[in-house]
Amino acid sequence: MSNEKFEIEIIKKLKEGLTQAIREKNVEATNNAFSDNCVMFLLAPPLSFKKNEDSSGDNDIEIWFSTWKNEIRLETKELVITCGNDIAFLHSLEHLTGTRTDNTETDTWFRETLCLKKINGKWKIIHQHQSFPMYMDGSEKSATDLKS
Protein backbone atom coordinates (compact mmCIF):
# COMPACT_ATOMS: atom_id res chain seq x y z
CA MET A 1 0.00 0.00 0.00
CA SER A 2 1.38 3.44 -0.91
CA ASN A 3 2.08 5.92 1.86
CA GLU A 4 -0.77 8.18 0.68
CA LYS A 5 -3.28 5.32 0.76
CA PHE A 6 -1.98 4.33 4.21
CA GLU A 7 -2.45 7.89 5.52
CA ILE A 8 -5.92 8.11 3.97
CA GLU A 9 -6.91 4.92 5.82
CA ILE A 10 -5.66 6.43 9.11
CA ILE A 11 -7.66 9.62 8.46
CA LYS A 12 -10.75 7.59 7.55
CA LYS A 13 -10.43 5.72 10.86
CA LEU A 14 -10.06 9.03 12.73
CA LYS A 15 -13.31 10.26 11.12
CA GLU A 16 -15.08 6.97 11.89
CA GLY A 17 -13.83 7.17 15.49
CA LEU A 18 -15.08 10.74 15.82
CA THR A 19 -18.50 9.75 14.48
CA GLN A 20 -18.69 6.81 16.90
CA ALA A 21 -17.63 9.02 19.83
CA ILE A 22 -20.44 11.45 18.99
CA ARG A 23 -22.96 8.59 18.75
CA GLU A 24 -21.83 7.38 22.19
CA LYS A 25 -21.74 10.93 23.63
CA ASN A 26 -18.11 10.33 24.62
CA VAL A 27 -16.69 13.79 25.37
CA GLU A 28 -13.08 12.70 25.80
CA ALA A 29 -12.95 10.63 22.61
CA THR A 30 -14.72 13.39 20.66
CA ASN A 31 -12.29 16.07 21.81
CA ASN A 32 -9.27 13.81 21.28
CA ALA A 33 -9.72 14.07 17.50
CA PHE A 34 -9.12 17.84 17.57
CA SER A 35 -5.92 19.84 17.99
CA ASP A 36 -5.66 22.07 21.04
CA ASN A 37 -6.15 25.23 18.98
CA CYS A 38 -8.68 23.95 16.45
CA VAL A 39 -10.87 26.62 14.83
CA MET A 40 -14.49 25.53 14.43
CA PHE A 41 -17.37 26.91 12.39
CA LEU A 42 -20.23 24.85 13.79
CA LEU A 43 -23.97 24.74 13.09
CA ALA A 44 -24.74 26.46 16.41
CA PRO A 45 -23.63 29.97 17.49
CA PRO A 46 -21.18 31.59 17.77
CA LEU A 47 -20.00 32.17 14.20
CA SER A 48 -16.54 30.87 15.05
CA PHE A 49 -15.11 29.03 18.01
CA LYS A 50 -11.50 28.40 18.95
CA LYS A 51 -10.89 25.40 21.18
CA ASN A 52 -9.07 26.27 24.43
CA GLU A 53 -9.58 30.02 23.86
CA ASP A 54 -13.37 30.33 23.82
CA SER A 55 -14.01 27.73 26.54
CA SER A 56 -12.32 25.31 28.85
CA GLY A 57 -11.36 23.35 25.75
CA ASP A 58 -14.32 20.99 25.53
CA ASN A 59 -16.16 23.13 22.89
CA ASP A 60 -19.31 22.69 25.01
CA ILE A 61 -19.81 19.26 23.48
CA GLU A 62 -20.94 17.83 26.84
CA ILE A 63 -23.73 20.44 26.97
CA TRP A 64 -24.79 19.53 23.42
CA PHE A 65 -24.70 15.81 24.24
CA SER A 66 -27.02 16.44 27.21
CA THR A 67 -29.71 17.79 24.83
CA TRP A 68 -30.22 14.30 23.36
CA LYS A 69 -32.65 11.93 25.04
CA ASN A 70 -30.99 8.70 23.99
CA GLU A 71 -28.47 7.95 21.29
CA ILE A 72 -27.33 10.39 18.67
CA ARG A 73 -27.58 8.88 15.23
CA LEU A 74 -24.97 10.28 12.88
CA GLU A 75 -23.94 8.88 9.54
CA THR A 76 -21.43 10.08 6.98
CA LYS A 77 -22.10 9.97 3.24
CA GLU A 78 -20.02 10.89 0.19
CA LEU A 79 -16.78 11.08 2.17
CA VAL A 80 -13.83 12.37 0.13
CA ILE A 81 -10.32 12.55 1.61
CA THR A 82 -7.40 14.42 0.07
CA CYS A 83 -4.04 13.87 1.73
CA GLY A 84 -0.53 15.33 1.55
CA ASN A 85 2.50 14.60 3.72
CA ASP A 86 1.33 16.49 6.79
CA ILE A 87 -1.87 18.30 5.69
CA ALA A 88 -5.16 16.72 4.66
CA PHE A 89 -8.79 17.62 4.27
CA LEU A 90 -12.03 15.76 3.93
CA HIS A 91 -15.54 16.72 3.06
CA SER A 92 -18.79 14.85 3.49
CA LEU A 93 -22.52 15.02 3.92
CA GLU A 94 -23.67 14.26 7.46
CA HIS A 95 -27.09 12.95 8.49
CA LEU A 96 -28.03 13.71 12.09
CA THR A 97 -31.12 12.13 13.67
CA GLY A 98 -32.47 11.42 17.11
CA THR A 99 -34.80 12.55 19.88
CA ARG A 100 -33.99 15.62 21.95
CA THR A 101 -34.68 15.93 25.67
CA ASP A 102 -37.66 18.17 24.86
CA ASN A 103 -39.05 15.24 22.77
CA THR A 104 -38.54 16.99 19.44
CA GLU A 105 -37.13 14.88 16.64
CA THR A 106 -34.01 15.96 14.78
CA ASP A 107 -33.60 14.76 11.21
CA THR A 108 -31.25 16.97 9.24
CA TRP A 109 -28.47 16.84 6.68
CA PHE A 110 -25.50 19.19 6.73
CA ARG A 111 -22.16 19.62 5.02
CA GLU A 112 -18.86 19.17 6.82
CA THR A 113 -15.26 19.93 5.91
CA LEU A 114 -12.38 18.96 8.18
CA CYS A 115 -8.79 20.10 7.75
CA LEU A 116 -6.17 17.94 9.44
CA LYS A 117 -2.50 18.34 10.24
CA LYS A 118 -0.02 15.72 11.31
CA ILE A 119 1.16 16.88 14.75
CA ASN A 120 3.85 14.87 16.52
CA GLY A 121 3.18 11.99 14.13
CA LYS A 122 -0.62 11.92 14.67
CA TRP A 123 -3.39 13.36 12.54
CA LYS A 124 -5.46 15.99 14.36
CA ILE A 125 -8.33 18.14 13.17
CA ILE A 126 -7.18 21.77 13.05
CA HIS A 127 -10.27 23.23 11.37
CA GLN A 128 -13.90 22.12 11.29
CA HIS A 129 -16.59 23.72 9.14
CA GLN A 130 -20.22 22.65 9.19
CA SER A 131 -22.99 24.34 7.22
CA PHE A 132 -26.51 24.11 5.95
CA PRO A 133 -27.34 25.12 2.38
CA MET A 134 -29.51 28.22 2.08
CA TYR A 135 -32.78 28.46 0.20
CA MET A 136 -32.32 30.76 -2.80
CA ASP A 137 -36.00 31.80 -2.91
CA GLY A 138 -35.41 35.12 -1.17
CA SER A 139 -36.24 33.79 2.28
CA GLU A 140 -32.54 33.30 3.11
CA LYS A 141 -33.51 30.48 5.47
CA SER A 142 -31.19 27.59 6.16
CA ALA A 143 -32.32 24.42 4.42
CA THR A 144 -32.41 22.17 7.47
CA ASP A 145 -35.19 19.96 6.09
CA LEU A 146 -33.41 18.45 3.08
CA LYS A 147 -33.38 14.71 2.46
CA SER A 148 -30.66 12.80 0.67
Give me the pLDDT at residue 52, please: 66
Inter-residue contact 82 to 90 (CB < 8 Å) = yes
Provide mean pLDDT across the span 106-132. 95
Whether the model clears a pTM of 0.85, i.e. scores above it, the answer is yes
pLDDT by residue (tens digit) across 68-87? Answer: 998 999 999 999 999 999 99
| Domain 3-131 top-level CATH class | alpha beta
Averaged pLDDT score across all residues of the chain: 89
pLDDT by residue (tens digit) across 20-65? Answer: 999 999 999 999 999 988 998 888 776 676 776 655 445 578 888 9
